[in-house]
Amino acid sequence: MPFVVLITGASTGIGNLTARALAAQGHTVYASVRDLAGSDAAHADELLEFGHGGGHDLRVVGLDVQSEASADAAVSTILDEAGHLDAVVHNAGHLGVGYVEAFTIEDVQHLFDINTLGVQRVNRAVLPHLRSRRAGTLIYVGSTTSVVLPPFMGAYVATKAAADALAQTTAYEVGQFGIETTIVMPGPFTHGTEHFPDASHASDVDRVGAYADLDPLVARNEEATSALFPPDVDAHPRAVADEIARVLALPAGTRPFRTVVDFTDAGVDEVNEALRRAQEQFLTRLGFDDLLHVETPGRASSPG
């Protein structure tokens, strides 16, 4: 069944690849970009050309996740044009690289504003509609970094961990209105996205200099990460887009709460399973085990 899907942060990388994959699968896709008339105009044109060339229903909408008004306006546009919305892919995000102490409060606030508060702004825009329909799917592009905690990305990792916790606890509540949640957790990718080229860096240069002894470790970080990939594997972010497409194609009530796309074999699935068991036991002891189940036919999906 084709859906109407909103994807945030679709100008490049995983969001862009997901927009193309879902459109090719037959969905009506609203690929959102932050600066539709400016820096993202060329990306928007490329997406529209892909849609027109393939006969896909791929549309572009402006949405800045740092603005509540922008999120509200984008969702209003979608509802006016399509009449309804079925799924949201929370993909917009920004990477920060550097020594934690060297990130100013403003640096960290900026990352949280995009990666965590951006999710909340979009959810507040879409959830009234999804609740009224008692149906829908929220797909979050999380990160294995919130489990394995790689070095030299501390501020970014904190924002992804916070967004993950927000997604989990939101799932307890919206699941009672038939809204499913899936957290897709990509591992690292050293090519195929603009994540690292566009990353921001800690701005306190004096504090950066104080950690100069660690600079050789930072210099070989990308090489060390690449060495984790098996030599015969194409570690490309299109795999994340394909997984999102697979999840969305599953029948309501059967979508997994978490799914990992990681070519480095970091053991995240094992941690997730331990977390699931602990959550299930804790909520059951509280007497809130009903919150573990999404109120959809079959009640087969669980946010634990």
Question: What confidence score (pLDDT) does residue 231 get?
Answer: 87
Residue 290 confidence class, pLDDT cut points 50, 70, 90: very high
- pLDDT for 197 equals 74
**Per-residue pLDDT band at 301 (split at 50, 70, 90):** low
Q: Quick one: average pLDDT of 29-46?
A: 95
> Which of 4, 1, 9, 17 minimizes the C-alpha distance to 189?
17
Nearest to 123 by CA among 71, 74, 198, 173: 71
Contacts of 107 (CB under 8 A, 6+ apart): 96, 155, 200, 202, 203
Q: Which residues pair with 98 in a beta bridge?
A: 153
pTM of the model: 0.95
- Is the pLDDT at 298 greater than 60? The verdict is no
Tokens of 190: 């050293």
- Whether the pLDDT of residue 282 is over 80: the answer is yes
| Strand pairing class (258-261; 136-141) | unpaired
Beta bridge partners of 58: 29
How large a percentage of the chain has pLDDT more than 70? 97
* pLDDT the model gives residue 275: 96
Q: Is the pLDDT of residue 58 over 80?
A: yes
Band of residue 262 on the pLDDT scale cut at 50, 70, 90:
very high
Taking all residues of the chain, what is their mean pLDDT, rounded to a whole number?
94
Is the confidence at residue 302, as pLDDT, over 70? no
Looking at residue 304, its pLDDT comes to 55
The pLDDT of 114-138, averaged and rounded, is 98
Look up 156 and say whether it is catalytic.
yes
Euclidean distance between CA atoms 39 and 45, whole angstroms? 12
Residue 67 half-sphere exposure, CB side, CA atoms within 13 Å?
13
Per-residue tokens: 68: 């509540």
Whole-number pLDDT of residue 165 = 98
Residue 221 pLDDT level (bands cut at 50, 70, 90) = confident
d(CA 5, CA 58): 10
Q: How many CA atoms lie within 13 A of 168 on its CB side?
A: 15
Residue 117, token pair as written in the block: 């508060």
pLDDT at residue 94 is higher than 80: yes
Distance CA 110, CA 127 (A): 24
Mean of pLDDT values over 123-130: 98
Distance between CA atoms of 156 and 113, rounded to whole angstroms? 11
Asked if pLDDT for residue 300 goes beyond 50, the answer is no
Give the start-end residues of each E strand in 80-188. Answer: 87-90, 96-97, 136-141, 179-186
Would you say residue 30 has pLDDT above 80? Answer: yes
178-185 mean pLDDT = 98
* Averaged pLDDT for residues 235-257: 96
Give the per-residue pLDDT at 297: 59
Mean pLDDT score, 22-41: 96
4-292 placed in CATH 3.40.50.720: yes
Annotated catalytic residue within 30, 99, 140, 156? 156
Task: State how far the Cα of 155 lies from the Cα of 138, in Å rounded to an integer.
Answer: 25
